[in-house]
Structure 1
Amino acid sequence: MAASTALAAAMPPHCSPSRGASEAGVPKKSTISLVAPSARHRRRPARVIRVFRSICRTLPIFTPKCKIPSVACSAFASPLAGTDSGRRHRDLVTGTLFGCRKGRVSFSIQEDPRCLPSLFVEFSLQTHVLLREMSTGMLRIALECGKNGGKAASSSSRTLLEEPMWALFCNGKRSGYGVRREATVEDLGVMETLRAVSMGAGVMPAKAEGEEEIAYVRAAFDHVIASKDTEILYMLSPEDGSGPDLTIFFIRL
């Protein structure tokens, strides 16, 4: 945690910290209409269900003498299906990548565009670098962190997305770090401005002279929790396939 705090302090400001929220042309905190996300995505199974599952695992497995004909169902199988597909958890979330053209990229996850961010990560990746990599048509962002074996007591109950910091890789190249933090009033102002946007990319014009434009990419993401140490976000492209192939990996090694 101390390392992430020192890193955040050493990183340059997001856009222009000398301007307040009202001067930057974004809504004040009192005008934010985003609602809190529900807790259904992180809710643990009820105790009765967990006990029932543990009892079922202790029951013997009987093999029937008669052979049941197998049905070919590969045409209906999910592309993410595997030997442990039954353990995977999937959600549809809204993801937004945005940042000043000469600043760093921020990434937020929302339950839907009307909700407050459930996760906010600031990348040490410059916005123009992200746009350049995305223009190739395929973008892979990997965020990796360690398990901190010496701190098992404090990290055993921490979920992957609750980690404070990750090493950042963009298309296989080390690109600094990603730091989890709370969204600022300016960040919430951007989310409020994009409240009616469910999918798209563009540039938010500067509100006043001397301010920078904010580039953004917003889309629906298929959030797949493969395990407690692996979560993947697949961006869902438009039906015409015109969008980039974007995937974000969260990995704990």
Structure 2
Amino acid sequence: MVPIIHDHRSVDCGRDVRFRRSFRSLVECMVPACCGFQASADSLAGDADDRYISSPPSTTTTTTTTVTGTFFGYRKGRVSFCLQDHTRSSPLLLLEFAVPTAYLAKEMQHGLLRLALECCHPRQNDSQKERCSLFKVPVWSMYCNGRKVGFAIRRQMSVNDVAVLKLMQSVSVGAGVLPLATGEAGDLLMYLRASFERVVGSADSESFHMINPVGSSGQELSVFLLRS
């Protein structure tokens, strides 16, 4: 059974729920018998990209820190991804993915999820040499496990986003269902939160790798940002 938060003070997923069991239950709940979203035929045939299939190469020029990453969304709706310095801080980045939550959960079933977001350098003249932060890029091309699946869009916080993050302030790691107003036809608002290792390779490349809590293993989840 997927854990449900009835009160934000009553749950500390790191202590009360084994992460692996919660994650598996969440995926089983999120994935319907037939997922309605399918990657395009062109992407299945020719857009598979092996740059994100293997682990990122190590390099002495990278810097690493730890941040909090949260996936949330209605099972039949689109997924949002939020990065924060910690659970009570303002978002560093809030993205909306153009794929249903159920599709993303289906990809997670195999224990490996690599999300690659790519953008191009904007045309600049001599007076615009300074590059904007990757967190300021408005639109990204999105690849899921090597297949192109549409776009990711940076967006501003909504009233609902504020309510979600406020409810989860005491949750450091976990997966489950939030007791907010249900969506269309009683759809449930699902979430997955974990610590991520943030690796800054350059001004044009960053990646985020989920840190499995002590006592759990097997799930590999990474998000890559690349400007070319």
- Judge same fold: TM > 0.5, yes or no: yes
Following superposition, the deviation at residue 250 of structure 1 comes to 0.1
| Contact 1:206–1:212 (Cα < 8 Å) also in 2 | no
In the alignment, which residue of structure 2 is the partner of 1:105? Answer: 79
Partners of 1:208 and 1:178 in 2: how far apart? 24
Aligned-pair Cα RMSD in Å: 2.1
Greater Cα offset, 88-97 or 237-246? 237-246
Decide whether aligned partners of structure 1 residues 146 and 203 sit closer, same or farther in structure 2, where only a CA change above 3 A counts: same
What is the DSSP-based 3-state SS (H/G/I as helix, E as strand, rest coil) of the residue aligned with 1:148?
A: coil
* Residue type of the alignment partner of 1:169: Y
State the Cα deviation string for residues 44-73 of structure 1 (Å, max 9, x = none): xxxxxxxxxxxxxxxxxxxxxxxxxxxxxx
| Contact 1:148–1:155 (Cα < 8 Å) also in 2 | no
In the alignment, which residue of structure 2 is the partner of 1:239? Answer: 214
Partners of 2:134 and 2:106 in 1: how far apart? 29
Following superposition, the deviation at residue 239 of structure 1 comes to 2.0
Task: List structure 1 runs of 4+ shifted beyond 4 angstroms.
Answer: 150-155, 208-211
Q: Which has the higher contact order (CA 8 A, sep 6+)?
A: 2
Following superposition, the deviation at residue 89 of structure 1 comes to 2.1
Decide whether aligned partners of structure 1 residues 113 and 155 sit closer, same or farther in structure 2, where only a CA change above 3 A counts: farther
| Contact 2:72–2:189 (Cα < 8 Å) also in 1 | yes
State the Cα deviation string for residues 23-55 of structure 1 (Å, max 9, x = none): xxxxxxxxxxxxxxxxxxxxxxxxxxxxxxxxx
More strand, by proportion: 2
Partners of 1:169 and 1:208 in 2: how far apart? 29
Following superposition, the deviation at residue 144 of structure 1 comes to 0.2
In the alignment, which residue of structure 2 is the partner of 1:44? Answer: none
| Contact 2:92–2:135 (Cα < 8 Å) also in 1 | no
**Structure 2 segments unaligned to the other structure (5+ residues):** 1-55
State the Cα deviation string for residues 74-129 of structure 1 (Å, max 9, x = none): xxxxx9742xx1x3222110000110011000000011001121210111011000
Decide whether aligned partners of structure 1 residues 152 and 221 sit closer, same or farther in structure 2, where only a CA change above 3 A counts: farther
| Contact 2:182–2:189 (Cα < 8 Å) also in 1 | no
- Count of aligned residue pairs for this structure pair: 172
TM-score w.r.t. the length of structure 1 is 0.63
In the alignment, which residue of structure 2 is the partner of 1:143? Answer: 117
Partners of 1:164 and 1:153 in 2: how far apart? 21
| Contact 1:125–1:175 (Cα < 8 Å) also in 2 | yes
Match of 1:220 among 195, 202, 211: 195
Following superposition, the deviation at residue 241 of structure 1 comes to 3.3
Following superposition, the deviation at residue 205 of structure 1 comes to 3.8
For 1:129-168, list aligned pairs within 5 A.
129-150=103-124, 153-154=127-128, 156-168=130-142
TM-score w.r.t. the length of structure 2 is 0.70
**Structure 1 segments unaligned to the other structure (5+ residues):** 1-78
For 1:64-83, list aligned pairs within 5 A.
81-82=58-59
Partners of 2:222 and 2:211 in 1: how far apart? 10
* Residue type of the alignment partner of 2:205: T
What is the DSSP-based 3-state SS (H/G/I as helix, E as strand, rest coil) of the residue aligned with 1:92?
A: strand
